[in-house]
Structure 1
């Protein structure tokens, strides 16, 4: 059976609107997927649905289908997206209306059952704004097998879009763990769109034509192996490096859990087959855990922020004056961050300036709103020399708190509404094992001994690449080298202790290291760096997207032989 060509047209809610059309224009594909959901997106959709019960889905997908539905159906291309968000039934209904209005006989199916909000208290999750379990890919597979042209889902894992399409095409069994894990790996690579074709890549200056990077394609074989590529003539590049960057992105260790299988990240082998073609093979899978992860979002209260600009001399004294003047009016839990962006003897006023960020939170929108921010201005004439703010005083805004939860897999319905109006129920994966065993940390593999020689103190990034991101309140950094000869040095040098020294913000936190020899990579999970998630924390770079670049800028002793 020939390979299944799956292109991904969306990495987040707000990705390039023309992506579907670009993929259709670029060449033949069998399936187009779209990932619209992130932890923050679920909060946004939750607030949307609270205002309008008919909302709660990614409206941009509907706009994309307005121009593409006819081509998709005519060319017999399947579309699988999680754009249904909190209302897959509502989106599928809108798609049916669109189908009728365009005169295009599209068969629509949707997957649901992930929404646990009505049972949240019963399941021990309190009273959140949203509560959604991560479903797997076999509901999607059943919908495609029943003839659906478009499958809309709620909260499934990002890789499940690809798993479902591949499982349907190749008729995989639920216990084909190696094959499923191979599709999970391919799905993880392409789920973030152009990040697999050079976007956000550490060695970005090596990527040709990033003006308009092409969207990635996974050519999946019956055994679960895949080739990652893109349409000819599109911008960006697919290399072992760009694929590695996405593989180590936002994972939690060598065992990457999904509802249908555990992907052993340490088993993946990469090989460059030619220009823009990277083979992904050797993937091993294991039985999935007996629990499903649950994404929980709740409203945390209200927040407001004022940023004070200090220019020239005595920066620390100016900051202390502001803190003392506001000490009696800011609530408990206020965070102060002084960003020393100033330079001595600077040639411009901006480069002579530092910024003090003050973030307040509380349950009362009036107290943390204008009652607070107006005070920053009202005594402006009694502040420090050169007083000014980066923005005028503003109102408080609500913020959300993200929490991960877990629920027994057999407590979550996995339902599929087929094009003919019938409904199917998908049983949880057979052979599930207790989560403690399924997710147990693997012992660090042996790495060839590093023999030190002459070194030079240089930024880590002169020899190593990195990619970082968020997992709720935790941060993740994957670091790797391209040269196999430098791998023992990286594994020896970049220990947990070294990471804490290089990134002092992590010094007091729990840090886990996972070693991935096939990828010449080490992966770190930094527990609690991001507090209660992106929507609530006031950290600079709240999603840790640039944490890896900070690490690469730190200096280490680099052996001269690798330079």
Structure 2
């Protein structure tokens, strides 16, 4: 087997994780994910201000483990190169020199399309179809695992990349070790699923888990690793003696994180998430098998970002009686001083809490002066002429720049990955493999969709129709939170929110599948009203996945929502009260 470990799920994750994974037990490859949609804008800002365009925290982790990894033959693969993988590789070499170590460092480039107007062409938003009219600040194609495998095959001890898919950090080492060819769809798909599970660090071992009361010693949660096998199947586990847990539930939760259709598209393969089989093999050991794969699409996703203006937020606290009336008065008092229609965008959120509420007002405008202290000072000016109990959470501040995330597609053959090993270019494809292609395709289930213009436009899939006759026998029901019997995990993909819901038994899933339609979801989550909601079924995981289109506007970087990444959307749904059969409770 190939033991691939994770030591970072985002830019800012636990700095001691690399050392914990290297010293906690045997591993063959140490990986880490530093990039997200928002991270590219952060790195662009850093680079504009004279700081590195890569993630310096990677070097801080590497300093703790590089010597040990070289001694034990542990390869290191990370996307911490961000917007400057060559600069990151040079920094790794400088670190090794300072430590007195000899290390071969490779970088994977070719993802940066920022200045390539020929490739971007008439790019349109992959979600909305809008044409890109702004000048990109960053534009990076999501590369796959083959360049990583090529770097490892050429002898690299450390591989740093720019924008690759998160799963490529596992797929690349799998291609290197097992020699999978482009046609080995099932094996590649299995590695993509394994990579999706471990790339978010502790989310696979009990972090952010709906049933967190079942997770032991979460403050000392261990990071995950996968024992990847030659056919792409594997076991997700963690080092002994660490906190957290690896269960079918924690793995299911992570599998549902930030996905859409069961056909999970990637540059190496299309992985069929509706074919995944999970099995609890023992304490902290979950086996993933049965994953089917299909040919990848002929396009690559490109993450474009561009500057869009300035934003400012002020939050007022409302307490006691007449909360909604107080909110109206507070807003009227502000708009008298700075007219609402003078801003390009205004977003107002009223969040009820126990005995109080937060009134959060965000303004956005291309004019920094308009969105800056002119707005925040106007809010403060109302302090003695507004609702009783007026107070805020922060003093008046200036506006800050924000950017827009713009996903688009380009022809895959228009993007040329490059691999540089110690500054010398090597072929970006690993040596050829005699392995053959995988089996036949599996027909996908159709999504159920509710559109705001036609709330009745529900198209149940054939599987859904069959299951509709299987729910637990009606009987009496009880009004209870949905989370009493179901877990959920949510997140962001551009301007869309993804929300996965699962249960632990076939009986509960049979009921959930009939009850939680796309239309019912919109009833339980009023903030989704007026938005397109898609439902996808994953009966093999006893799960449903929803995509709420446009909830996050133009992406996390520009979303004015307090929960800009929809991380809490799943918990909002679990708290929603509905009629549940008593037999299932």
The normalised TM-score by structure 2 is: 0.90
Specify the alignment match of 1:514 in structure 2.
536
Q: 1:247 to 1:139 in 2, by over 3 A?
A: same
Q: 1:97 to 1:77 in 2, by over 3 A?
A: same
Residues 30-179 of structure 1: pairs in structure 2 closer than 5 A? 30-52=28-50, 55-120=52-117, 123-124=121-122, 125=132, 126-179=134-187
| Counterpart check, 1:396 vs 2:399 | yes
Residue by residue over 1:467-520, the C-alpha shift from the partner in whole angstroms, topping out at 9 and shown as x without a partner, is 111001100111111112222111111111111111111121101110011100
Match of 1:240 among 244, 248, 268: 248
Residue by residue over 1:156-201, the C-alpha shift from the partner in whole angstroms, topping out at 9 and shown as x without a partner, is 0000010000110001111101000000000000000010000011
| Counterpart check, 1:335 vs 2:347 | yes
Specify the alignment match of 1:346 in structure 2.
none
Specify the alignment match of 1:543 in structure 2.
565
Q: 1:510 to 1:414 in 2, by over 3 A?
A: same
Q: 1:508 to 1:561 in 2, by over 3 A?
A: same
Specify the alignment match of 1:350 in structure 2.
none
Give how far 1:534 is off. 1.4
Q: Distance in 1 between matches of 2:216 and 2:385?
A: 54
Q: Distance in 1 between matches of 2:405 and 2:318?
A: 34
Give how far 1:312 is off. 2.8
For the 8 Å contact 1:287–1:438, the answer to whether it is kept is no
Specify the alignment match of 1:11 in structure 2.
9
Provide the alpha-carbon RMSD of the alignment: 2.1
Match of 1:492 among 514, 517, 529: 514
Residue by residue over 1:371-402, the C-alpha shift from the partner in whole angstroms, topping out at 9 and shown as x without a partner, is 12112223433323333222111111111111
For the 8 Å contact 1:310–1:354, the answer to whether it is kept is yes
SS in 2 for 1:118: coil
Gaps of 5+ in 1: 344-352
Q: Distance in 1 between matches of 2:179 and 2:540?
A: 29
| Counterpart check, 1:354 vs 2:376 | no
Q: Distance in 2 between matches of 1:526 and 1:357?
A: 22
Residues 266-281 of structure 1: pairs in structure 2 closer than 5 A? 266-281=274-289
| Counterpart check, 1:202 vs 2:210 | yes
For the 8 Å contact 1:262–1:438, the answer to whether it is kept is no
Deviation larger for 517-526 or 450-459: 450-459
Specify the alignment match of 1:25 in structure 2.
23
Q: Distance in 1 between matches of 2:199 and 2:474?
A: 39
For the 8 Å contact 2:333–2:382, the answer to whether it is kept is no
Specify the alignment match of 1:349 in structure 2.
none
Q: Distance in 2 between matches of 1:342 and 1:467?
A: 24
SS in 2 for 1:378: helix
Q: 1:549 to 1:31 in 2, by over 3 A?
A: same
SS in 2 for 1:65: helix
SS in 2 for 1:456: strand
Match of 1:445 among 463, 487, 494: 463
Q: Distance in 1 between matches of 2:570 and 2:90?
A: 42
Q: Distance in 2 between matches of 1:199 and 1:94?
A: 32
Give how far 1:262 is off. 0.4
Specify the alignment match of 1:299 in structure 2.
307
Residue by residue over 1:393-422, the C-alpha shift from the partner in whole angstroms, topping out at 9 and shown as x without a partner, is 111111111111111101111111124713
Deviation larger for 123-132 or 68-77: 123-132
Residue by residue over 1:25-82, the C-alpha shift from the partner in whole angstroms, topping out at 9 and shown as x without a partner, is 1011000100000001111011111222x72101000111112110011110001000
Residues 206-245 of structure 1: pairs in structure 2 closer than 5 A? 206-245=214-253
Match of 2:547 among 525, 529, 540: 525
Give how far 1:288 is off. 0.5
Specify the alignment match of 2:452 in structure 1.
none
How many corresponding residue pairs? 546
Specify the alignment match of 1:414 in structure 2.
417
Q: Distance in 2 between matches of 1:487 and 1:229?
A: 26
SS in 1 for 2:236: strand
Q: Distance in 1 between matches of 2:513 and 2:327?
A: 41
Residue by residue over 1:288-325, the C-alpha shift from the partner in whole angstroms, topping out at 9 and shown as x without a partner, is 00000111111111111122223333333332223223
Gaps of 5+ in 2: 123-131, 448-460
Q: Distance in 2 between matches of 1:234 and 1:61?
A: 22
SS in 2 for 1:152: strand
